[in-house]
A = this chain, B = another copy of it.
């Protein structure tokens, strides 16, 4: 890796039986093997995970939330402090979302127009306005390795007419973002487009076609995991992924469960983010090779075993279920720390296994096993 390194993506191997791809993102902050899960670092920190723990897990890329960082401590402050990598002392890669989804989630506080989205801060009620150009500028100030276009995340359910209008607005914003990006682009960072279109395959197709013409470095599928049934989500990913350029990274935003990740990889998705492993950890819900564990349950009160006998994370190597239950019930900060360490290990280990199985052309068998197990 050199300071002048260009952002890039390579597909290293295509699985023989599924759409899965084994690839690598080249960034100015190191190479990132794909398929990859990006831990969510909302406010410039992956909650309850010291950076050193992330490094020990070999996390190579994390996500930052533009909306949160813009409101606190402010992108200009972060820029003066040397950018987000320097500010949070993280030397790996960073992807920032555009803030569109966060504004979308605070529905009662926002209003959308052709120019952009007006919203009130959830912190202090102050009025703010995001334009496509502004979210590009904010992300450039943050210095993220991957920036995202501003999009209008269509609510679920939405009628075809509303979804179409929303998708078209997103496409117009995407063009504005790209044009503004090109003024300052030095090739070291990437801007990704975001396909919208709710649950309508025809709209997804039109969205993908419009964005493909804008020649983004990578493409995301947005507007899923917002309340639609699982099978609908899978259907949309399955029909959208093949419409995205083969030689560019494909990012499924905000998804999902371990099962979702495996299935979406089979459909050709390369990148994921989700708050599930970190948020669930703080709520005492742990992923294990034997299924989910709610650590507060009385059954664990005197259980001397590890969360997951098949897990080699420091939490499982050192602490018992009984102790982790005690920390959770006592409201100790360490409960969040140890639980997050475990859940992220579970996710990143799974992605590692996925990558290896693709390399070995064994991913299809693995997927079959999983689907049998789930049926």
Contacts and interface: CB of A to CB of B under 8 A. Distances in A.
A12 interface: no
Given A301-B77, A326-B43, A318 B82 contact: no
A319 B334 CA distance: 20
A89 B323 contact: yes
A304 interface: yes
Contacts of A211: none
Q: How large is the interface on A (under 10, 10 to 19, 20 to 34, 35 or more residues)?
A: 35 or more
A45 B322 contact: no
Contact of A47 (B49, B80, B314, B332): B332
Interface string A322-333: 110011011011
Interface string A293-321: 00000000110100000000010001110
Chain multiplicity (copies):
2
Nearest to A82: B304
A44 interface: yes
Contacts of A88: 323
A258 interface: no
Nearest to A341: B50
A4 interface: no
Contact of A45 (B43, B51, B52, B332): B332
Contact of A334 (B47, B304, B338): B47
A43 B332 contact: yes
B81 A302 contact: yes
A122 to B, nearest CB: 13
Nearest to A327: B45
Contacts of A301: 73, 77
Contacts of A327: 43-45
Interface string A68-95: 0000110001001110000111000000
Nearest to A43: B330
A48 interface: yes
Contacts of A72: 326, 329-330
A286 B82 CA distance: 24
A304 B337 contact: no
A338 B50 contact: yes
B80 A334 contact: no
Interface of A: 43-45, 47-52, 72-73, 77, 80-82, 87-89, 301-302, 304, 314, 318-320, 322-323, 326-327, 329-330, 332-334, 336-338
23 contacts: A43-B327, A43-B332, A44-B323, A44-B326, A45-B327, A45-B334, A47-B332, A47-B334, A50-B334, A50-B337, A50-B338, A52-B314, A72-B330, A73-B326, A77-B302, A81-B302, A81-B304, A81-B320, A82-B304, A87-B320, A88-B323, A89-B320, A337-B337
